[in-house]
Amino acid sequence: MSSSVKYWFPAALSLMVVGWGANQYVALLVHYKQDHGFSELLVTSLLGVYVVALVPALLIGGRYSDKTGRKKLTIIAVSLSMAASLTLMGVAWGPAPLFVGRLLAGAATGLAMAAATSWVKELSQRPWDAHAVPGSGARRASLLTSAGFCLGPVIGGILVAAVPGPDFVPYAVHILLCIPLLFILLKLPETRERQGASAQINAGPKAASVAAVAHAGGRKRFWAVIAPAAPWVFAAATMGFVVIPEMVPAMREERLIYTTVTVGITMGFGVLIQPLARRLDTVSNARSLLCGVTVVLLGMSVGLSAILLNSPILGLVTSALLGCGNGLLMVSGLLELQRAADPNELGTLTGFFYTLAYAGFLAPTIIAFIAQWVSNLWIMGGTIILCMISLAVIALNSRKHLPQALEQVDAEPGAQAMRTARS
């Protein structure tokens, strides 16, 4: 194998195109309300309904990919994403195609997040990538996922505003991006079976037992530290580009433009901030996760001020801060997860992580429902309190169940062989 071949990149591109397909619907929210006459509650509910299909796809797909491999499920995910875009083109027949299309998009996203994220991680280490540093897989997967979530609605918003046929053109562009990628994915290596075999040959039973000890506390750390932060990954993002545009500015014709701008700001800052998350990460505590939740808390506090002052400018600042929180939590959550997870549970725990993260995607739907009886100020205040509780739980467990067993057994007989196997 040539060391110059970047196998991880097409696998990561699958995350981008699936994220693009999942989030492009955001660009058409205002269009569906203004030009098709759909209600606010309907279009917002359709934004979050794909979680109904996403959650089982994450949980089943993660476990299945651990047993059978990542490649096949990733290809299925991209194919389902194309089918979702094709179905969403049928909006002329009413909201039913939107409902079905969003469910297909949810299934595609769930499979991609569980299988392709693990695939990118495994393709970012030996023998597939001899030059990657620890954490490269998490950073690459997060970056391309966030890029897709950003580009989908931004490019979609531009196409809706500038090109005839807004019901078709954005979805057609997405389908055209997926087709050549499918052929490239077919040529990539499967990592799961190869990695299991090579681990037994190179490391031996001693190394396997050491690895088991190293990851023994993985699940405990997941539920104590990673899980409390996970819902804010997408709660922050969706509040930045769905909730804030509805709550803050008193705008009419400019609402479509403003919404598109908030999408670009939220997801753009989510991408730009990610290198900082890698620098903040440490094996000794949950510093990067704490920083991410703190930024989300700050963003919602500014959002509260934006509502009080009815300030579109402060609304944009809120979107930027919530985007930063989204990017920090995406990278830091995956770094913590991939460091703590046993290789045989990587897909399963990745599925758990994204399940909790996508629970936050329901935030706009829940807020739109509660807003029928409760004012925006009280809703935002309650959200701030929930964020503070999450921050306290993470801080309390920050140094617990750390995956340090490898360092502790490094001086034992056979540790040198383990280091050789890991290198």
Q: Does a structural domain hold residue 399?
A: yes
Q: Whole-angstrom Cα distance, residue 92 to residue 272?
A: 37
Q: Does a structural domain hold residue 416?
A: yes
* pLDDT recorded at residue 252: 52
Least confident among 47-51, 247-251, 358-362, 411-415: 411-415
* pLDDT recorded at residue 166: 83
Cα–Cα nearest to 124, from 200, 191, 218, 66: 191
**Is residue 148 within 8 Å of 18, Cβ to Cβ?**
yes
Q: Whole-angstrom Cα distance, residue 333 to residue 118?
A: 14
Q: At what angle do helices 51-68 and 71-88 cross, to 10 degrees?
A: 160
Question: Average pLDDT in the 145-155 region?
Answer: 84
Least confident among 15-19, 178-182, 212-216: 212-216
Cis peptide before 127 (omega within 30 of 0): yes
403-414 b/e (C-beta count within 10 Å ≥ 16 → b): bebbeebeeeee
* pLDDT recorded at residue 206: 44
Between residues 193 and 364, the one the model is more confident about:
364
* pLDDT recorded at residue 174: 95
Task: With a cut of 50, say whether residue 35 has pLDDT above it.
Answer: yes
Number of domains in the chain: 1
**Is residue 240 within 8 Å of 265, Cβ to Cβ?**
yes
* pLDDT recorded at residue 209: 43
Query: SS3 of 220, please?
Result: helix
Residue 160: which domain range?
8-422
* pLDDT recorded at residue 213: 47
Render pLDDT for 306-319 as a digit per residue (tens, 0 to 9).
888 888 899 999 99
As given in the structure block, the two tokens for residue 317 are: 């600042």
Q: Does a structural domain hold residue 409?
A: yes
Q: Does a structural domain hold residue 367?
A: yes
**Is residue 178 within 8 Å of 78, Cβ to Cβ?**
yes
* pLDDT recorded at residue 321: 96
Task: With a cut of 90, say whether residue 277 has pLDDT above it.
Answer: no
* pLDDT recorded at residue 29: 78
User: Per-residue confidence at 13, pLDDT binned at 50, 70, 90?
Assistant: very high
User: Per-residue confidence at 349, pLDDT binned at 50, 70, 90?
Assistant: confident
Q: Whole-angstrom Cα distance, residue 237 to residue 173?
A: 24
263-300 b/e (C-beta count within 10 Å ≥ 16 → b): bbbbbbbbbebbebbbebbeeebbebbbbbbbbbbbbb
Between residues 359 and 78, the one the model is more confident about:
78
Q: Does a structural domain hold residue 1?
A: no
Kindly report the number of other CB atoms within 10 A of residue 340's CB atom.
24
Share of the chain above pLDDT 90, in %: 28
Least confident among 61-75, 109-123, 213-227, 334-348: 213-227
* pLDDT recorded at residue 124: 85
Compute the mean pLDDT over every residue in the chain, rounded to the nearest whole number: 81
Most confident of 19-23, 347-351, 419-423: 19-23
Q: Does a structural domain hold residue 3?
A: no
* pLDDT recorded at residue 216: 52
Question: Average pLDDT in the 156-183 region?
Answer: 89
**Is residue 367 within 8 Å of 244, Cβ to Cβ?**
no
Give the CATH number of the domain where residue 324 resides: 1.20.1250.20
Render pLDDT for 188-234 as a digit per residue (tens, 0 to 9).
988 876 444 443 334 344 434 444 444 556 778 888 999 999 999 98
Question: Average pLDDT in the 312-340 region?
Answer: 90
Q: Does a structural domain hold residue 2?
A: no
Q: Report how many helices (DSSP H) and strands (DSSP E) the chain contains, helices first.
A: 23, 0
Q: Does a structural domain hold residue 209?
A: yes
